[in-house]
Amino acid sequence: MKIIVSHTNLDFDGLASMIGASKLYPQATMILPEKLSPGVANFLAIYKDTFPFQRKNSINWELVTEIILVDVNCLHRIDCLSQIQENVSYIVYDHHPITDDTVPYETGEISSTGATITILTEHIQAASVTISSFEATVFALALYSDTGDFTYEQTTSRDFRAAAYFFENKANLSVVQQFKELPLSPKEGELFHLLLEQSTLHSVDDIDILVCWHEQSDYTGHLAHITRKLLDRTGADAVFSIVRMGKKVFITARSSSNRVDVLPLFVELGGGGHNKAASAMKKGENLTNVLQQVKGSLNSIILPPITAKDLMSSPVRVVALDTTIEDVSKMLYRYGHTGFPVMDNETLVGIISRRDVDKALHHRLGHAPVKGFMSRNPLTISEDVSLEQIQEYMIEYQIGRLPVTSSDDIVGIVSRTDVIQALHGRKGKMLTNKEGKSSLQLMDFSSKLKELLPSNYYTILQIIGETANNKGIKAYLIGGMVRDLILKRKNHDMDIVIEGDAIQFAHHLKEIYGGHVRSHEEFGTATWKHPTQIKVDFTSARTEYYDFPAALPKVERSTIKEDLLRRDFTINAMAICLHKKQFGQLLDYFHGYEDLKKKKIRVLYNLSFVEDPTRILRAIRFESRFDFLMDKHTESLAIQSGTNLLELSKPRIANELKKTFY
């Protein structure tokens, strides 16, 4: 016998997911939990007989051999745990994160979406199972509720596709609106005001957290609904509601800030949920003890702010007061910048933007110096200014770039592009590394390096990282080896980028560890042959610019970010840090990791194929080698630039074709 089960205090996503699972497993019985959220309770008061739900006491649990868990992946959040027999297998469909308590399951899917119904809908579509207009309405109600009308951070493009499917099947939005947001009942309203009266506001690193508590003998349900109302009413960044009801203490939290991650604390409390919404229940616990535990953990749930130091590009390219507009225009194109700080000797005196330059060129003033067109008295910021403050400056003063200074020296610059990337990068936020510093690092790859590389290769990477650290420079493993490590393909071509002098660094390694070095001064590259005969190629971080389409690139020393930007596709524009403090951290400025998972080939900028048409042949080679596909935009750019292949020399074409066919 198969049964379908969801979490206690059932919400609309749990309800819809049970119905969705029953479409995939029509022989399974849906078991309704005893406790329902207020919206679901009101909904089922009208529509209960529409679905064949049963209660846990109405079935013979000895006959249950398989349990389908939906919108939950751990057993302590269901109310029929005591009835489950041994040797039961599980199928799980859930969008909550996997934890140590996640039940071992044979099939199903756990992935990050705005709602579990999205996952089930994809499986329903894949199985060509039809849904009724009413089922589509219930599914849409769940999706709108769990994504906050598609405004919550965990919302994905998959959720929007699911919504489109619901409307194609005639979902009724008036029903969705009717049940999605309900007012508090009199009893809930009373608890709401009691919690508001018994609360303290804690300011932790500029984040306001409201901690509310109350103790009562009877039970008042829907604490999550009440907590959401408290968050909306007070404007706090996060709210904790801690209520002892009889012999149980219920803890619920809701957050509206990307800097607040409540989930680890709730896992510690024996609960679960999301980073911004979680709950737990403690039996026989003293309210004061739980309250103190929560208050004592507030510092640990706050992620460090993203600051100018994390966002800025460095070193900063500047122009002098007497640089001509025409020369600045060439530099803007060469480096892909939108403006430059203007210096008078060592003093910052202005900012010249692309718009200023374009206006001057329009009036045929390319020969004039920038001092006549620059913006004077530029606003500067320090390294510790937060992302939020940077946004406010850009909006208030209508400026697109902010020089970052330290002791009156320019140490970096933050542009609108940097801010946009931070706000709208992967999952809408920047992640935090082990040291608690905000960065654009996607994940810790150190264990995978050790697992996937032969031990002698791993040792050499450690040697390179330690040596770079001792010399105060940064070293990165880049290119195809990073890509193939993620794909779990063999690739022992070690390409290292140094933010500094690569040739000097290679000779330094030779002096310490032996071996041989072959260098190419004109290209700023070197190959170090380790005494074990393993070869490592070193390159100084550089940027490239092209004087005309299909020309060979001209090269200048640069940073790792600009070095990665010059590469062909996002899947080849990732780097793994080798310097000691960040060893194994994956740098992914352009979302190449996500493209690898989606088997997508995507260029980094629109002129990529124009500047280097061989990349068209390379894209075709990668499609064949990895069974990937160019995204629509990249394919369109390749078609538009196809005639540029005629501009290439025959040896360059032959070299690319040889790699494609052999």
269-318 pLDDT, tens per residue? 988 888 888 999 999 889 999 999 999 999 999 988 888 988 888 778 88
Domain boundaries, the chain: 2-180, 186-301, 308-424, 443-661
Q: Distances from the Cα of 382 to the Cαs of 4, 374, 412, in angstroms?
A: 56, 22, 10
Tokens of 153: 């951070």
Average pLDDT, the chain: 86
* Dist CA 536 CA 588 (whole Å): 22
| Nearest alpha-carbon partner for 317 in 5, 558, 32, 598 | 558
Sign of the CA dihedral with 397 first, then 401, 405, and 408 last: negative
114-136 pLDDT, tens per residue? 999 999 999 999 999 999 999 99
Q: Which residues of 444-482 are buried (b: 16+ CB within 10 A; e: fewer)?
A: bbbebbeebbeeebeebbbbbbbbbbebebbbbbbbebb
* Dist CA 512 CA 273 (whole Å): 52
If one compares 185 and 617, the residue with the highest pLDDT of the two is: 617
The answer, yes or no, to whether residue 142 has pLDDT greater than 70, is yes
The answer, yes or no, to whether residue 549 has pLDDT greater than 50, is no
Tokens of 147: 């994504």
SS3 assignment, position 397? helix
496-511 pLDDT, tens per residue? 999 888 999 999 999 9
Q: Which residues of 179-210 are buried (b: 16+ CB within 10 A; e: fewer)?
A: bbebebeeebeebbebbbeebeebebeebbbb
The answer, yes or no, to whether residue 435 has pLDDT greater than 60, is no
* Dist CA 368 CA 352 (whole Å): 13
Three-state SS string over 232-284 comes to: HHHCCCEEEEEEEECCEEEEEEEECCCCECCHHHHHHCCCEECCCEEEEEEEC
SS3 assignment, position 290? helix
557-600 pLDDT, tens per residue? 567 887 888 888 999 999 999 987 788 888 888 888 888 888 99
pLDDT for 545: 44
Classify burial at 322, counting beta carbons within 10 Å of its beta carbon; exposed 0-12, middle 13-18, buried 19 or more: exposed
| Nearest alpha-carbon partner for 527 in 518, 26, 583 | 518
* Dist CA 16 CA 10 (whole Å): 10
pLDDT for 511: 93
* Dist CA 650 CA 147 (whole Å): 54
What is the percent of the chain with per-residue pLDDT over 90, rounded to a whole number? Answer: 44
The partner residues of 107 in beta bridges, in order of sequence, read 91
Tokens of 93: 């469909």
| Nearest alpha-carbon partner for 320 in 284, 353, 347 | 347
| Nearest alpha-carbon partner for 611 in 653, 568, 651 | 568
* Dist CA 412 CA 99 (whole Å): 40
**Residue 429 pLDDT class (50, 70, 90 cuts):** very low
Question: Residues 510, 490, 651, CA angle at the centre, nearest 5°?
Answer: 80
**Residue 18 pLDDT class (50, 70, 90 cuts):** very high
Hey, what amino acid is at 520? H
CATH of domain 186-301: 3.10.310.30
**Residue 168 pLDDT class (50, 70, 90 cuts):** very high
CATH of domain 2-180: 3.90.1640.10
| Contact (Cβ atoms closer than 8 angstroms) between residue 477 and residue 576 | yes
* Dist CA 371 CA 380 (whole Å): 18
CATH of domain 443-661: 3.30.460.10
If one compares 489 and 161, the residue with the highest pLDDT of the two is: 161
* Dist CA 12 CA 44 (whole Å): 11
**Residue 94 pLDDT class (50, 70, 90 cuts):** very high
Hey, what amino acid is at 417? T
* Dist CA 385 CA 555 (whole Å): 33
pLDDT for 427: 35
pLDDT for 557: 58
| Contact (Cβ atoms closer than 8 angstroms) between residue 110 and residue 98 | yes
Q: CATH classification of 308-424 is 3.10.580.10, yes or no?
A: yes
Question: Residues 515, 519, 525, CA angle at the centre, nearest 5°?
Answer: 115
**Residue 489 pLDDT class (50, 70, 90 cuts):** confident
| Contact (Cβ atoms closer than 8 angstroms) between residue 207 and residue 259 | yes
| Contact (Cβ atoms closer than 8 angstroms) between residue 10 and residue 37 | yes
Angle between helices 186-197 and 223-234 (to 10 degrees): 50
